[in-house]
């Protein structure tokens, strides 16, 4: 069973439907025991960094989430679900992230380009051979769907597994051991996004 964390943010129906489409047994939940029982966890997120963190903290799930990640349970973060894995964000000064990965979330610097970065863009996969290989079987140039004004800047650049170019190089995905996350929305990215979710489910 894959638990999709329900903390009042994110397009949970789309994520649930996409995971089910690739064969996953999915539970959208805010129950800590279901998180403990799940084989894998998906952490979605839409909106402002600070709102997402406040909502997540209000569920009381943060200690359980950190505990399960610490045990090695696979986690996939999506959009702001990627960003809150880091220490904090310029979007919400003074609001601490989960601190699972060291680094900050920074405003996109894209002179001449509209912010937010919204729509389809190509991925440059930097290091696809990970313990959880989200990008197995993808074409060298694959397009995915983004909606964001901020992106993660890890302290360790090796955490970045894919980038996308939009006025400057942006972090498109990160990965470390059992923790993987995408800034783009795989559930809105057509066949490419479904393949990424299938890779996560079957890994």
Check 16, 52, 68, 79 and give the catalytic one. 79
Q: How far is residue 130's CA from residue 134's CA, in Å, rounded to a whole number?
A: 8
User: Is 113 known to be catalytic?
Assistant: no
User: Is 79 known to be catalytic?
Assistant: yes
Q: Within 13 Å of residue 98, how many CA atoms lie on the same side as its CB?
A: 25
Which strand (E) or helix (H) includes residue 70? helix 62-70
Which residues, other chains included, contact 85 with Cβ-Cβ below 8 Å and sequence gap of 6+? Answer: 43, 77, 97, 98, 100, 101, 152, 174, 179, 181
User: Is 165 known to be catalytic?
Assistant: no
Check 117, 148, 151, 185 and give the catalytic one. 185
Check 16, 68, 91, 187 and give the catalytic one. 187
Catalytic residues, by residue number, are 79, 185, 187
């Amino acid at each position: 069973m894959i638990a999709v964390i329900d903390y009042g943010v994110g397009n949970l129906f789309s994520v649930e439907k996409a995971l089910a489409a690739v064969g996953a047994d999915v539970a959208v939940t805010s129950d800590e025991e279901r998180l403990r029982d799940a084989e894998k966890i998906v952490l979605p997120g839409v909106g402002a960094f600070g709102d997402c963190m406040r909502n997540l903290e209000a569920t009381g799930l943060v200690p359980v989430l950190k505990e399960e990640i610490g045990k090695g349970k696979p986690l996939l973060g999506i959009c702001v679900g990627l960003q809150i894995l880091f220490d904090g964000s310029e979007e919400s000064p003074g609001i601490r992230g989960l601190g699972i990965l060291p680094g900050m979330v920074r405003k996109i610097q894209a002179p001449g380009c509209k912010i937010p970065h919204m729509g389809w863009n190509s991925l440059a996969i930097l290091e696809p051979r990970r313990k959880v290989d989200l990008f197995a079987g993808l074409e060298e140039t694959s397009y995915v769907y983004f909606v964001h004004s901020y992106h993660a800047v890890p302290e360790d650049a090796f955490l970045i597994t894919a980038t996308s170019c939009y006025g400057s190089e942006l972090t498109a995905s990160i990965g470390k051991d059992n923790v993987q996350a995408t800034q783009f929305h795989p559930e809105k990215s057509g066949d490419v996004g479904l393949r990424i979710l299938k890779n996560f489910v079957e890994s």
